[in-house]
Amino acid sequence: MIRVQAEDFDLGAELAALREGRRDIGALASFVGLVREMAPEGTQASAPDSSHNGSGEQSMTLEHYPGMTEKMLAEIEAEAQARWPLQASLIIHRYGRLLPGEQIVLVACASPHRHAAFEACQFLMDWLKTKAPFWKLEEVDGKGNWVDARESDEAAARRWQGG
């Protein structure tokens, strides 16, 4: 199941609905991505011992192309279902203006065994980061910056190619 929405989601309710009435599920793996606090331009990203002092407005705006986004997410989900024995899967991705601490994405995979659920969940996130058509604008203290793809995300996705 795939949903692209502006509204927040209730993690507990979503996971309960995914497994409702199912007795063939032995494992349920999930991942929730959150908007993290962003460091002002010219400073290092937040670390446990050094973070932005919270002054100024911070947000992340996610944009997407309706129709194209859902189609790509469906292709990514179908690939996971072809690779692993999944009883169910769920992808919820939000769009719009989000603030630090808010939920962005939920990926959940249900399978008879934990190995498949964990791997499929990681696969979905790795491919979402590199293949899903979302554009991110980070704003810190009134300055906007479009986020480029990260090499680390590309490297994570490459390990699943040819699968």
**18 strand-pairing partners:** none
Q: 2-35+56-158, superfamily in CATH?
A: Molybdopterin biosynthesis MoaE subunit (3.90.1170.40)
The structural domains of the chain, with segments of one domain joined by +, span 2-35+56-158
Tell me how far CA of residue 110 lies from CA of 3, 87, 91, 120, in angstroms.
17, 6, 12, 9
Distance between CA atoms of residues 139 and 110, nearest Å:
36
pLDDT in tens, 123-163: 999 999 999 999 999 999 888 889 887 888 888 888 898 75
Q: Quick count: other Cβ atoms within 10 Å of Cβ 149?
A: 10
pLDDT at position 48: 43
Does the predicted TM-score (pTM) go above 0.75?
yes
pLDDT at position 34: 96
Distance between CA atoms of residues 109 and 120, nearest Å:
7
Distance between CA atoms of residues 133 and 140, nearest Å:
23
Q: Phi-psi category of 123—alpha, beta or left, where left has phi over 0 and alpha has psi -120 to 50?
A: alpha
